[in-house]
Structure 1
Amino acid sequence: MDLGLNGKVALVTAASRGIGQAVAKRLADEGATVAVSSRAPAAAPGQTPYPVDQGDPAAVERLVPDVVAAHGRLDALVINTPGPKIAAFLETGIGDWAQAYDQLVRPAVQLATAGARVMAGQGGGSILFVTSTWVKQPAPGGVLSASMRSLLSALAKQMSLELAPLGIRVNQLMPGATGTDRMRTIVAAKSQANGTTEEDEIAKVVAAIPLGRWAEPEEIAQAAAYLLSPAAAFVTGESLAVDGGAIRSTL
């Protein structure tokens, strides 16, 4: 299926590995010109690297203008942010919350604002927030991630309402358990906290997924490409879980 992304200009953040890397590759495979950012981006064919540490507000502020200066426009923006540490609520301090905000929320707001202004000026575009199923179904140890990403969930919905008349679509993609380095870090942390093996913790994760396995990054990327593309022209303000059926709620 041709998603209509050929010739579009896209920016994907935190794209050096995992889901971000898979999304960037998928968009490039669809014919998009893809700018990728991370602290040390390794660009694949069809991609342009932008070394940006999302913990540096000044660097984040320059990212969208630099991409537009190089490519002339911005049609798709994937706001992907690093995850904070895994910890129970009573094990967190105010410093952890401040750090999580600086990792997840501040750069996302900066990118969303800059991207939306460019898209408004050119007559439209698509913005996608990559969050987590934890915003709908929290899990032990995920208090920092779930709380900060829930803020982004609300932001995405608000933006979709305000920006639709400008031709800008805004959606949220909620990956479930996915075979990434981040997921393996979570598994290791749970193993240490529970006094179990990593294999035990992986088995627990998979047991809670009706499809009986976790996702591959490429499967998340396929959903991202659709939401960003003209094929989803009438889809905005939506939150799509790609989780193998793990979320139990009906809505």
Structure 2
Amino acid sequence: MDFGLKGKRALVLGASRGLGAASVILLAEEGADVIAASRSGALPAGLPDSLKDRVSVIKLDLSDAGSVSDVIAFLGETPVDILVNNCGGPAAGPAKGQSVEAWIAAFNAMATPIFAITDKALEAMTDKGWGRVVTIGSSGIVSPIPNLALSNGVRGAIAGWSKTLASEVAASGITVNMVLPGRIATDRLAELDAGKAKKSGQSVEEVKAASRATIPAARYGKPEEFGAVVTFLCSEQASFITGSMIRVDGGMIKGM
């Protein structure tokens, strides 16, 4: 199936590794020209040599207001058809006892920058009458993950923004969706598993086995499986899907 992405330009945030890198690779495979944004400004991990002519890089640190402003200015000169929002998660910890400063820092590092970058990207999409905005969230939006209070809270706010925005821009040919990963085998998940193992006194393999036992598919997901869903939502065929949150979690979340 041709997703109709040849000649489209995409900007993917948090693109050097993990879910962002997987999204870059799948979009490039479908013929899009992809700008990979990350703090390092490096090419995405695992990018095949055959796709390197379709991928360029820019530096972006979502926690740095100046860096965010630079990317907004860049979008004024280099408009995009597709925006994939992806931000790292804050430190683990409970909801009780979190300082106001911690909440503000998490919101300003995760939510505020993608709101501003999206607003700028929407200008050109609106002029063209075509656009795709996909924001990578977390299963914690649907079922809060223990000890990830900052992430659960801020990503929940992002979900409300995404749903509201979808209604505002749908008539302009722009879709706005979220993709919610469950346990996908990325460096971030490995870090969380290692942290849980250290805290609980278990081995990392014991932590992984317990996690797999909660997933009907009985395994962690592959980054490329996640990237394929992101890419489909960016396609011509997904033009009537907007305001949605699609889980890629192997059946882990039991809610309707």
Q: Same fold (TM over 0.5)?
A: yes
Q: Which amino acid aligns with 2:198?
A: Q
Q: Which amino acid aligns with 1:66?
A: F
Kindly report the root-mean-square deviation, in angstroms, between the aligned alpha carbons of the 2 structures: 1.3
The answer to whether the 8 A contact 2:38-2:61 is kept is yes
Superposed structure 1 runs of 4+ greater than 4 Å apart: none
Q: Which amino acid aligns with 2:90?
A: P
Partner deviation per Cα, 1:160-204 (whole Å, 9 max, x = no partner)? 001111111100100110111100111112112222221111111
1:201 alignment partner in structure 2 = 207
Deviation at 1:36? 0.7
1:18 alignment partner in structure 2 = 18
- Which residue of the other structure, out of 183, 191, 210, is the alignment partner of 1:185? 191
1:114 alignment partner in structure 2 = 120
Secondary structure of the structure 1 residue equivalent to 2:89: coil
Structure 1: any 5+ residue segments left out of the alignment? none
Partner deviation per Cα, 1:16-75 (whole Å, 9 max, x = no partner)? 0000001001111111000010111222511110011111122212314414524xx311
- Which residue of the other structure, out of 224, 234, 249, is the alignment partner of 1:243? 249
Distance (Å, rounded) in 1 between the aligned partners of 2:220 and 2:122: 33
Partner deviation per Cα, 1:139-158 (whole Å, 9 max, x = no partner)? 21111111100111111100
The answer to whether the 8 A contact 1:38-1:52 is kept is yes
1:164 alignment partner in structure 2 = 170
2:111 alignment partner in structure 1 = 105
Secondary structure of the structure 2 residue equivalent to 1:90: coil
The answer to whether the 8 A contact 1:83-1:103 is kept is no
Distance (Å, rounded) in 1 between the aligned partners of 2:69 and 2:4: 29
Distance (Å, rounded) in 1 between the aligned partners of 2:31 and 2:8: 8
- Which residue of the other structure, out of 132, 135, 151, is the alignment partner of 1:129? 135
The 5 A counterparts of 1:75-94 are: 75-90=81-96, 92-94=98-100
- Structure 1 window deviating more from structure 2 (215-224 vs 56-65): it is 56-65
The 5 A counterparts of 1:138-157 are: 138-157=144-163
Q: Percent identity?
A: 32
Distance (Å, rounded) in 2 between the aligned partners of 1:7 and 1:200: 46
Count of residue pairs brought into register by the alignment: 248
The answer to whether the 8 A contact 2:23-2:228 is kept is yes
Q: Which amino acid aligns with 1:86?
A: A
- Structure 1 window deviating more from structure 2 (3-12 vs 57-66): it is 57-66
Q: Which amino acid aligns with 2:170?
A: A
Provide TM-score, normalisation by structure 1: 0.95
Q: Which amino acid aligns with 1:199?
A: E
The answer to whether the 8 A contact 1:35-1:67 is kept is no
1:2 alignment partner in structure 2 = 2
The answer to whether the 8 A contact 2:86-2:135 is kept is yes
1:30 alignment partner in structure 2 = 30
Secondary structure of the structure 1 residue equivalent to 2:243: coil
- Structure 1 window deviating more from structure 2 (151-160 vs 56-65): it is 56-65
Deviation at 1:93? 2.3
1:53 aligns with 2:83: no
The answer to whether the 8 A contact 1:124-1:167 is kept is yes
Provide TM-score, normalisation by structure 2: 0.93
Q: Which amino acid aligns with 1:48?
A: S
Secondary structure of the structure 1 residue equivalent to 2:96: helix
Distance (Å, rounded) in 1 between the aligned partners of 2:129 and 2:96: 47
Distance (Å, rounded) in 2 between the aligned partners of 1:183 and 1:91: 25
Distance (Å, rounded) in 1 between the aligned partners of 2:235 and 2:202: 43
